[in-house]
Chain A
Amino acid sequence: MAQDRLRIEHISKAYTEGYVTITDASLQIGVGEIHGLLGENGAGKSTLVKIISGELQRDGGVFEVDGAAVSPASVTQAAALGIFRLQKKSGLVPGLTVAENILLGQAKNRFAPLAKKQRNNEIAALLKEFGMDPGPEDRAVRLTAEDALEMEILKAYIAGAKLIILDEPASYFSLAQTEELFGLLRKIAAKGISILYVSNQVREMLELCERITIMEEGATTDCIEAAQATPAQLQRRMVQNSRIKRTKKTGAQPGDTVLKVRDLSVFRTEDHPAVQQVSFSVRAGEVLAVVGKPDSGARELCEAICGLSNIVTGKVSIYDDDITADRVRGVRDLGVSFLLSTPEFDGVATSLSIQENLLPYQYTNPDYRNYGLLDQEKLKKEADRLIQEYDIRCKSGQENASVLSTSSTQKLLAAREFSNEPVLLVAYQPTFGTSEETAAFLEKKLIELRDEGTAVLLVPTDWNEFAVIADSVLVLYQGSVSAYFPKPVSQSQLDPYMNGEKRMSEEELEAVCFE
């Protein structure tokens, strides 16, 4: 390749709250190349991408675009250099049409009603050229997530992008659409535009990319030609130097069956299942890990158990109480706790005090009342105890929760849920976005909880967490169970089941349905 479109060398970024530390990252992308950036969750891909797209500033290292050294200080500056990062969530304005969205922020889009027809024709021609379904007059709100992403790619193309970055786009893509997306990306690349495709999915990478850079623990370790790699080989490379075990635990001593799930299906819409006919059980004092690719339905499964889903069939019970139709309140009353925090579903109210966020169950507990009114002293004492025990960093429990860092917020959520003496804990990516120290602390707490006899249903944040706390494993592939292992196994053993290449027989799968 004559010249690199993007060349970064030995980039570093010291620890910043909420981001993974980058120690040494290098990356070269040629003109018109589709380049893959592959790594585990928490390997630092997103941080690196944010540095490239101007959202974060690097501490040191070389950053060149088309041979010229640059250091974009904001997303706008990066865009001026031709670097566009597509958000994980659609950035289209829902009320505007496709054409308006594509031209948004362009000089052409100045107020000129007469030019509307001409403009629409141009966009229609463009849409046709790239073989896309929506018309220029369709409203963005009507687009599917997949179409919306494709529109954003076109928007970047029209805006004069030299490098388009896609950060884990396939995590919300259906398979058929992935093909379509890849087709579009190849056409765009053929026009001389470089593409950086970030993902932790080996298969997609091999199909789409020419070269793949592998990232581990904040450093890029290798760059391979896709043509010469096999999936298994890549997968191994990705986790080659997995981190030292942070916590040691003793073997599980499972007790009675706490959670029974039988033939559970969860629907996103009436004819679109996310989880299909899933059956399993979780026993007291056991951590059952549910693993799978992002579209495996693990999240929907957790939500259904916690009473957050609407369309559910099958049966879910805690001991002998049927909770299938219960909402959160009913489920919690039976002693279920859950950690399910995401940006869309926030467990913390930032305008309430830390104490009020920490103790919702105590506030509703008659033991914390005095003559019918809340016992302020007792509540404060309990809050201070939890703040101390979980090392939630704040000046006092009366401060607003908005002062908390990402790690402390996660610790607050954990303190709230763990202190409730749950019979079942549903933990969906419990250490997501936290520092390593916090992650280790929370993992230790989870194991303590298990040893006290709580049944834990875990969707691990990363493979390291999986290795540390899982006692048994359930593998989901596209919403149904493809394997069950009563003992912890290595990731390579799980891979074929996660990818849908293998599936255990019905008899083998019945082993996970204890009565």
Chain B
Amino acid sequence: MNKKIRKIPLPVLWRVAAGLMAIVVCFLMICLFEKQRADSLYTFFIAPLSSVSALTGLVSYITPMLFVALGCTVVFQCRRYNLALIASFLLSACLVSIFLLQGDEKPVWYLVPAALIIGTTVGAVVTAIPGLMALRRRVNITLSSLLLSYFVLQLSSFLLEHSLRDPNAAEGASFEIPQRLWLPRILPGTELRLGVLFAAAALGLLYLLLYRSRIGYGIRAVGASESMSAYVGLSWSGVAMAAQLLAGALAGFGGAVEMMGIQTRYVWNGVFPSVAMFGILAALLADSNPLRAVLCCLFYGYLHQGAALLQAQTGFPTEVSLFAGTVSILFYFALCADLIPLPINGKRAVKSDAAVEKTEKKEGEVG
């Protein structure tokens, strides 16, 4: 057994360990705070996987998250830690809601594509703001984008209060988006809508772009070493801006998809920021690889679905999933930085190349 484990590359083990960590956290929280433990554990861990409808619900839920995660893989590969993707997602979802609700009379063939375009554009514009500030004024991109996200969060709740709010809804929520404007179902009887196909297409195209194209090479080269890319004459500022615009567009598209069939209303209860946050966590755990990001999104989506089912049943807060997710990422970082050795029997090179590389990456993150 040990021999087999030792053949697995270290980063893979780290990821698995981080995932287990998230599960352990959820497990402990439920055991500590729920009275009917067995039932609650079943609802949390088994129910999300127990039926076809639950599984398709999971896939449907992670679709918008995956767009954000894919966007993150692009900017993180370019070593631009632009967190305005949260803002892109939120503002796009908010504006698309307004657009769809205002334009109720107009035909579907106009509203649906227009909403997707609006979402994409808004997303790209939002991420471009910290990008440009970093380029022109050398403002720390992580800081400015985080502040911008907070600003957009407040702005969207303001818009919600003043132009969208349904007075009959129990909590702060918009009017319901008419069903005719939702993206069409692709499998009758399930929650799978066209957005899933869009996500699959985006994944395929993004993979080709990153690993099989000139632009992708530029993005990875700029992320790997700015001085090397300057040396060979790559325009690192242009490449970095392009990467950020692309990422913002993806996140914005995700926001639009979210409002067209996955959520029935624009809700202000922390749901939306958590989708974007999960997207970022998934990209981090996937080490900015788009294919791995899908698996990570599925994992975090699974935790969230479990938490949502449990909340419906007993009122246990859904936030436990996001909490577990963040703990898993912190644990993953600690493993990468060799702060915590994995308890594997037998001697294993502790300072592997990958470990060194990871540490460097994290340093870059701070700077």
Query: B315-339: contact bitstring with A at CB < 8 Å (1 yes, 0 no)?
Result: 0000000000000000000000000
Could you say which of A308, A329, A344, A356 contacts B221, with CB atoms under 8 Å apart? A356
Within 8 Å CB of B225, what residues of A? Answer: 346, 348-352
B292 at the interface (CB under 8 A from A): no
Once A and B bind, how many residue pairs between them come within 8 Å at the CB atom?
Answer: 80
Using Cβ atoms and an 8 Å threshold, which residues of chain A touch B228? 346-349, 352, 357
Q: How far is the CA of A332 from the CA of B230 in the complex (A)?
A: 11
CB contacts under 8 Å to A, within B273-298, are: none
The B interface is mostly helix, strand or loop, or mixed, namely: helix
- Size bracket, chain B contacts: 20 to 34
A340 to B217 alpha-carbon distance, docked (Å) = 22
Does any Cβ of B come within 8 Å of A364's Cβ?
yes
A376 within 8 A of partner (CB): yes
- Is B213 a contact of A374 with CB atoms below 8 Å? yes
Q: What is the minimal beta-carbon distance from A1 to any residue of chain B, in angstroms?
A: 47
Contact B214 A363, beta carbon cutoff 8 Å = yes
Minimum Cβ distance to chain A for residue B205 (Å):
11
Taking residues whose C-beta sits less than 8 angstroms from the other chain, chain A's interface range is 20 to 34
Instruction: Write out the residue numbers on chain A whose beta carbons fall within 8 Å of the beta carbon of B208.
Output: 373
CB contact under 8 A between A402 and B212, given known A360-B232, A363-B217: no
Interface hits, A141-194 → B, CB 8 Å: none
Q: What distance in Å separates the Cβ of B154 from its nearest Cβ neighbour in chain A?
A: 34
B190: interface (CB < 8 Å): no
How far is A94 from B367 in the complex, measured between Cα atoms in Å?
A: 16
Tell me whether A360 and B357 are in contact in the complex, defined as CB-CB below 8 angstroms, given that A349-B224, A374-B212 are known contacts. no
B353 at the interface (CB under 8 A from A): yes
A328 part of interface (Cβ distance < 8 Å): yes
CB of B109 within 8 Å of the partner chain: no
CB distance from A409 to the nearest CB of B (A): 11
Q: B15 contacts the other chain (Cβ, under 8 Å)?
A: no
Given contacts A345-B227, A349-B224, A374-B212, whether A329 and B217 have CB atoms under 8 Å apart is: no
**A372 CB within 8 Å of chain B:** yes
Q: Given the interface contacts A373-B208, A374-B217, does A329 sit within 8 Å of B227 by beta carbon?
A: no
- Chain A hits for B224, CB < 8 A: 349-352
Residue of A327, A346, A351 most packed against chain B (CB within 10 A) = A351
- By the criterion CB–CB under 8 Å, are A400 and B353 in contact? yes
Q: Which residues of B contact A340 (CB under 8 A)?
A: 231
Q: Which of A328, A345, A361 has the most CB of B within 10 A?
A: A328
- Say yes or no: B212 contacts A364, CB within 8 Å: no
Nearest CB in chain B to that of A348: its residue: B228
Q: Is the CB of B235 within 8 A of A329?
A: yes
Task: Say if the beta carbon of B233 comes within 8 Å of chain A.
Answer: yes
Asked whether B234 is an interface residue with its Cβ less than 8 Å from the other chain, the reply is: yes
B220 beta carbon closer than 8 Å to chain A: yes
CA A372 to CA B209, docked complex, whole Å: 10
The reply to whether B235 and A402 contact each other, CB–CB distance below 8 Å, is no
Q: Nearest chain B CB to A137's CB is how many angstroms away?
A: 27
Q: Which residues of B contact A331 (CB under 8 A)?
A: 233
- 0/1 per residue, B200-243, Cβ < 8 Å to A? 00000000100011100110110011011111111100000000
Shortest C-beta distance, A344 to chain B (Å), equals: 8
Once A352-B221, A356-B220 are accepted as A-B contacts, the answer to whether A328 and B231 lie under 8 Å apart by CB is: yes
Q: How far is the CB of A287 from chain B (nearest CB, A)?
A: 22
Cβ distance A352 to chain B, nearest Cβ, rounded Å: 5
Q: Is A402 within 8 A of B217, CB to CB?
A: no
What chain B residues lie within 8 Å of A349 (beta carbons)? 221, 224-225, 228-229
Nearest CB in chain B to that of A366: its residue:
B214
A340, closest chain B residue (CB): B231
Set of chain A residues within 8 Å of B218, measured between Cβ atoms: 364
Contact indicator B220/A372 (Cβ below 8 Å): no
Residues on B with C-beta less than 8 A from A352 are 220-221, 224-225, 228
- Contact of A347 with B357 in the complex, beta carbons under 8 Å: no
- Contact check: which of A308, A346, A356, A416 meets B217 at CB < 8 Å? A356
- Given contacts A351-B361, A352-B220, A363-B217, 7 further A-B pairs with CB under 8 A are A328-B233, A329-B234, A347-B227, A350-B225, A351-B360, A356-B217, A356-B221
Interchain residue pairs with CB less than 8 A apart (13): A328-B233, A329-B235, A331-B233, A346-B225, A347-B232, A349-B225, A364-B217, A364-B234, A373-B208, A373-B212, A374-B212, A374-B214, A403-B353
Smallest CB-CB A-B distances: 10 pairs: A349-B225, A349-B224, A360-B232, A329-B233, A328-B233, A349-B228, A332-B233, A373-B212, A347-B231, A363-B217
